[in-house]
Structure 1
């Protein structure tokens, strides 16, 4: 990150309040004494009508990142074919990869196998259920991207938090209590960031949506600033980070920088989380250049690593096609094959529901895949049998492991 580059923005305002830990809270006397007292909460700046002055080198950086992202999106469509049966499943697995990376930033790590099992309702991992909720939020973000309204932001959050046990009543609505980012759950004093007071959220989100509606800004910069502002407002009781990163994809699709796939931008952010969080702090202090630079870097990383991920998954698909050589061209197994990219663990129920096969077709397809060595039988939850494509799972796990090593 180049600290000398400046993109001046209005700094975050602060207002002072007094905090009292509730009497019924199970805390010690000394902790109560430390937690009671004065604290400052965020008063978000306004960006809907703000005039930005971009340094030339930052504009060049953004242009390069935008070109990389557009080229990746075109590469996916060209390699897979916009009308093919493969682009949809490939887009789905890229979306899941992005949702998983976004969740990892929140220290919610789930392997490809557990995520695939959870999608079949065969999972045993609590984190997997939460990450599936993030997948649903990403899907909602893309589905609703044509119309960037408050209603659709709330729908995105509802999709995210509905899968998170104990938070269902907070899903799809702005919070009515204070939230903060810190280790003490009983007091905001000393927190890294204290969100806006609940009564400020409506106006701040209205301004943010007006900002997103602008068409006079570099798109990646608009994504970065909108995301940073969303995190500053912290409009929800939980899920702000994941929802804020899903918002980025809604903007990319709304502005048509991406049309066919979900580039793994959060994977790029996960590659260097220290600088990502430092950039959010710099934004609140009045310099948006670091967060814009981080997003530009993340978009370039997404384009490069996403292309390799597509190639590696297509290699698995080619190998499976080779194993199925000689199978009748109208056999149902050919309809199943591309879906192994998006869902590398399957059962007959999944194929009936998602691929539209009859029970007998699904059973025959799995039998063929198993006999030809494409999938292997495994025991799922409650001793039910599922079938996994080990090669696809390995590709996805290796990609995630590479991010963590970074």
Structure 2
């Protein structure tokens, strides 16, 4: 972590090149708008192991540069006509897809939410199969990655639940849910140490990017929340810029990327772009992760077009991919109707609908979904197993799990498509 005293006071001018962004600025100053680039200030690097009265002498007074993020709550973002049109097209596509699901939203909202969480996690190199993720949600020990992706699903759901108002406390809660069980990363608490992006983990000196000093976080997040509450900025433009500003602030010691993409989902719901489902925009970003990271770098240099275009293109890719997933699951469900024979009043038919969005079940979760007592769930589960619609496997100390390999494959195929770069 760094010492608390910057060499330079920092601060952001209200005139000069910043004046063109103020909503209260004179018309003539708006002729050549430009988004403010980061400024920088120096700090002394003191490793945690060397803190104390001899710290400055022991470290040789090593200096590093940390970012100063500009406040954005009062700025007028002016993306290019191309970026603005792309954002508008993407917003319409997201809204149309959300509406298309209609009465079937209960069947698809859960699987799309998990797909978004898995894709967001994959951007951070956390990967697991759909089977491992769904099994982890039931308590199976399928691997650390699957457990973290399951936690990300809960964080995404929290983000949507908290979308009525974007506040600093809501952001903290998203992170608290994501990082529950990882106390060394202080779930839901702003960091009190330096964080950076670079090849070295032991020092920020020479890092590619060092986030703002922790004393700037609270004011920065307050400003971000104020920007997120505005109604005069096109929705997807606001989402992209708020996300980029959040990643610039990097307010937590870990989980910033996943929390920032959960924030994006919260804002999409807040603005009414989506009303029922979490369209997996992160799956669209996966197709060009390098471009996404470069767009964040461009944002910090004062160019907002790349991040707006990145979110717009990601949204369009996500809608196309999600439509394919819905079509695949619909075909699987129709195939079950042809293959399965049982009394029409059997609970097994209801379980078929549940399996389309919960492709891994145990007896307890299946009983909860159907609203029946646990002993009554075994006959329909047995019928589906005998029809080879589900496969049963005993999990260590947890009893049998029942899974639909067909639906799990469709979800894994979605993830594979998300990670493929389109040919140009």
> What's the TM-score once normalised by structure 2's chain length?
0.86
Alpha-carbon shift at residue 128 of structure 1 (Å): 0.7
Rounded to whole Å, the distance in 2 between the matches of 1:137 and 1:355 is: 25
> Which segment is superposed worse, 130-139 or 376-385?
376-385
- Partner residue of 1:402? 417
- Partner residue of 1:372? 387
Q: 2:206 aligns with which of 190, 196, 205?
A: 190
Matches within 5 A, 1:263-342: 263-329=279-345, 331-342=346-357
Alpha-carbon shift at residue 359 of structure 1 (Å): 0.9
- Partner residue of 1:14? 40
Rounded to whole Å, the distance in 2 between the matches of 1:141 and 1:398 is: 26
Q: 2:77 aligns with which of 52, 56, 59?
A: 52
Matches within 5 A, 1:4-403: 8-23=34-49, 37-77=62-102, 81=103, 86-163=104-181, 165-167=182-184, 170-329=186-345, 331-382=346-397, 384-403=399-418
> Which segment is superposed worse, 317-326 or 118-127?
317-326
Corresponding residue pairs, total: 384
Alpha-carbon shift at residue 326 of structure 1 (Å): 4.1
Rounded to whole Å, the distance in 2 between the matches of 1:288 and 1:54 is: 6
CA, structure 1 residues 314+204, in 2 after alignment: closer, same or farther (shift >3 Å)? Answer: same
Aligned to 1:342, what secondary structure does the other structure show?
coil
CA, structure 1 residues 24+124, in 2 after alignment: closer, same or farther (shift >3 Å)? Answer: farther
CA, structure 1 residues 23+250, in 2 after alignment: closer, same or farther (shift >3 Å)? Answer: closer
Structure 1 or 2, whichever has the larger Rg, is: 2
C-alpha distance after superposition, 1:319-369 (max 9, x if no partner): 22333344223x222332222122211110221344432112211221121
> Which segment is superposed worse, 232-241 or 121-130?
121-130
> Which segment is superposed worse, 304-313 or 332-341?
332-341
Alpha-carbon shift at residue 257 of structure 1 (Å): 0.6
Alpha-carbon shift at residue 397 of structure 1 (Å): 1.1
C-alpha distance after superposition, 1:18-68 (max 9, x if no partner): 21335569xxxxxx98x9722111111111110222322222212211121
Rounded to whole Å, the distance in 1 between the matches of 2:261 and 2:188 is: 16
Rounded to whole Å, the distance in 1 between the matches of 2:340 and 2:247 is: 49
Contact in 2 for aligned 1:323/1:373 (Cα 8 Å) = no
Alpha-carbon shift at residue 14 of structure 1 (Å): 1.1
> Which segment is superposed worse, 206-215 or 191-200?
191-200
Rounded to whole Å, the distance in 1 between the matches of 2:285 and 2:394 is: 35
Alpha-carbon shift at residue 403 of structure 1 (Å): 2.5
Aligned to 2:401, what secondary structure does the other structure show?
strand
Rounded to whole Å, the distance in 2 between the matches of 1:215 and 1:263 is: 22
Rounded to whole Å, the distance in 1 between the matches of 2:405 and 2:33 is: 47
Contact in 1 for aligned 2:84/2:237 (Cα 8 Å) = no
Alpha-carbon shift at residue 381 of structure 1 (Å): 2.7
Any stretches of 5+ residues in structure 2 without a counterpart? 1-31, 52-57
Aligned to 2:192, what secondary structure does the other structure show?
coil
Rounded to whole Å, the distance in 2 between the matches of 1:250 and 1:68 is: 17
